[in-house]
């Protein structure tokens, strides 16, 4: 009898929070897990969104960094959390579309997550430190051709969006460079500015503060049209590489067990946040565009990105240790 009573009581206590939260918000503090070190683009946008949601929901929204393996450590962690909405992932092109096509991961990006909302799509910026001699795409191609395998490009990790943009560049320009992976844009940018590495196709979100301060030089951007934040920086397509497009994107997702009703409630609130003038200003400055929309839209977007990058990786014979 005691055992039956304990089991029933435990089941009821476990079920009660979920029942209360089904059509609303989770009980207690919420964590947004970021798969990269502080200071990178993912971290910056997570903190902008998290602060506004905390104010709106009248609860604590913490940003927690679990860096490494191009964001897949964080994604794997979130995929295995309870579906009560207290643990969310700042989903990223690396962990949800690129790295799973490069190497084995312990989660399925297509089935282990509940999409919430797309936060934004940004170009990457081809940047260098102020001491580099080649500050145009044409000059950089020439530099790489004269120094095969010696010009260094940093990234947020093997299999990251920056890494794949570099691979696309090397294929298109028929050059070979050195790939130097880091645990996020933050530490990579520190080394780029310090001269330990030379170039990077970094996210516009992470690179912008350093470009504005003059510590990094923007050479080109990687969408086919120029971002509003960088009207004077040419695209790679304009610089001799038509069709070159390599974006970075960010969104919110929860574990697959998360109730759809809760995801839709969060989606409504994030859409409101994305329309706030100060948030729009920050997103525009970072080149983050096209955010918002439904949970279904974000799910379809992620699936299309998974297919796209799997094909790029296969066609380019890109290896995880490149």
Same domain, 208 and 301: no
Distances, alpha carbon 242 to alpha carbons 31, 72, 95, 136, 237, in Å: 41, 31, 27, 16, 4
State the virtual CA torsion across 305, 108, 293, 86 in degrees, nearest 10.
-150
CA dihedral over 180, 184, 187, 192, signed as positive or negative:
positive
Give the residue ranges of the chain where pLDDT is below 50: 1-23
Same domain, 110 and 80: yes
Strands (E), 16-59: 30-34
pLDDT for the residue 29: 96
- The residue among 252, 248, 291 whose CA lies nearest residue 120 is 291
Query: What's the CA gap between 235 and 224, in Å, rounded?
Result: 6
Same domain, 40 and 81: yes
Q: Does residue 230 lie within any of the structural domains?
A: no
Same domain, 161 and 96: no
Q: Does residue 168 lie within any of the structural domains?
A: yes
pLDDT for the residue 189: 97
CB burial of residue 262 (10 Å; 0-12, 13-18, 19+): buried
Q: Does residue 93 lie within any of the structural domains?
A: yes
Same domain, 149 and 10: no
Q: What is the CATH number of the domain that holds 130?
A: 3.40.190.10
Same domain, 13 and 159: no
How many Å separate Cα 150 from the centre of its chain?
Answer: 28
Q: Does residue 115 lie within any of the structural domains?
A: yes
DSSP per-residue codes, 62-78 = EEEE---GGGHHHHHHH
Same domain, 94 and 24: yes
Same domain, 114 and 252: yes
Query: What's the CA gap between 124 and 275, in Å, rounded?
Result: 23
CB 129 within 8 A of CB 196: no
Across the strands, what pairs with 30? 61
Query: What's the CA gap between 57 and 60, in Å, rounded?
Result: 8
Query: What's the CA gap between 35 and 39, in Å, rounded?
Result: 12
Q: Among 186, 221, 256, where does a domain finish?
A: 221
Query: What's the CA gap between 110 and 105, in Å, rounded?
Result: 12
Q: Does residue 233 lie within any of the structural domains?
A: no
Where do runs of H (alpha helix) occur along 214-255? Answer: none
**Strand 113-129, strand 199-203: pairing:** antiparallel
Q: Does residue 148 lie within any of the structural domains?
A: yes
Counted domains in the chain: 2
Query: What's the CA gap between 119 and 48, in Å, rounded?
Result: 11
pLDDT digits (tens, 9 = 90+) for 132-169: 999 999 999 999 999 999 999 999 888 888 999 998 99
Q: Does residue 240 lie within any of the structural domains?
A: no
Q: Does residue 179 lie within any of the structural domains?
A: yes
Same domain, 217 and 274: no
Same domain, 129 and 115: no
Domain that holds residue 96: 2-122+248-316
pTM: 0.81
pLDDT for the residue 220: 98
- The residue among 118, 92, 103 whose CA lies nearest residue 184 is 92
Same domain, 115 and 252: yes
Q: Among 221, 240, 265, where does a domain finish?
A: 221
pLDDT for the residue 296: 98
pLDDT for the residue 13: 38
Residue 85, SS3 per DSSP: coil
pLDDT for the residue 1: 39
Six-digit token string for 134: 């080649």
Same domain, 257 and 115: yes
The DSSP symbol for 234 reads P
Six-digit token string for 150: 């010696």
Q: Among 221, 237, 259, where does a domain finish?
A: 221
CB burial of residue 290 (10 Å; 0-12, 13-18, 19+): middle
Q: What is the CATH number of the domain that holds 308?
A: 3.40.190.150
């Amino acid at each position: 009898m005691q055992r039956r009573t304990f089991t029933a009581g435990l089941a009821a206590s476990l079920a009660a929070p979920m029942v209360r939260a089904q059509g609303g918000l989770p009980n207690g503090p919420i964590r947004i897990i970021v798969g990269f070190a502080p200071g990178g683009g993912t971290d910056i946008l997570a903190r902008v969104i998290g602060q506004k949601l905390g104010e709106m929901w009248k609860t604590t929204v913490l940003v927690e960094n679990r860096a490494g393996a191009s964001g897949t450590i964080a994604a794997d962690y979130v995929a295995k959390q309870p579906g009560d909405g207290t643990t969310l992932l700042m989903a990223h092109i690396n962990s949800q579309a690129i790295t799973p096509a490069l190497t084995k991961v312990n989660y399925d990006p297509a089935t282990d997550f509940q999409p919430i909302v797309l936060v934004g799509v940004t170009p990457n910026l081809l940047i260098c430190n102020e001491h580099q001699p080649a500050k145009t795409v044409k000059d950089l191609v020439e530099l790489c051709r004269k120094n095969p395998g010696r010009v260094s490009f940093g990234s947020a990790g093997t299999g990251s969006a920056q890494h794949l943009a570099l691979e696309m560049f090397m294929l298109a320009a028929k050059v070979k460079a050195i790939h130097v992976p880091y645990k996020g844009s933050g530490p990579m940018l520190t080394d780029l500015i310090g001269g330990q590495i030379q170039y990077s196709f970094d996210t516009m979100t992470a690179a912008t503060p350093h470009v504005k301060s003059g510590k990094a030089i923007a050479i080109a951007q990687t969408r086919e049209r120029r971002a509003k934040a960088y009207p004077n920086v040419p695209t790679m397509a304009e610089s001799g590489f038509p069709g070159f497009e390599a974006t970075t994107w960010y969104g919110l997702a929860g574990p697959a067990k998360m109730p759809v009703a809760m995801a839709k409630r969060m989606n409504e609130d994030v859409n409101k946040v994305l329309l706030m003038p100060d948030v729009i200003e920050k997103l525009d400055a970072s080149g983050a565009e096209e955010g918002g929309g439904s949970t279904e839209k974000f799910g379809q977007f992620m699936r299309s990105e998974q297919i796209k990058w799997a094909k790029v990786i296969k066609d380019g014979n890109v290896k995880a240790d490149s």
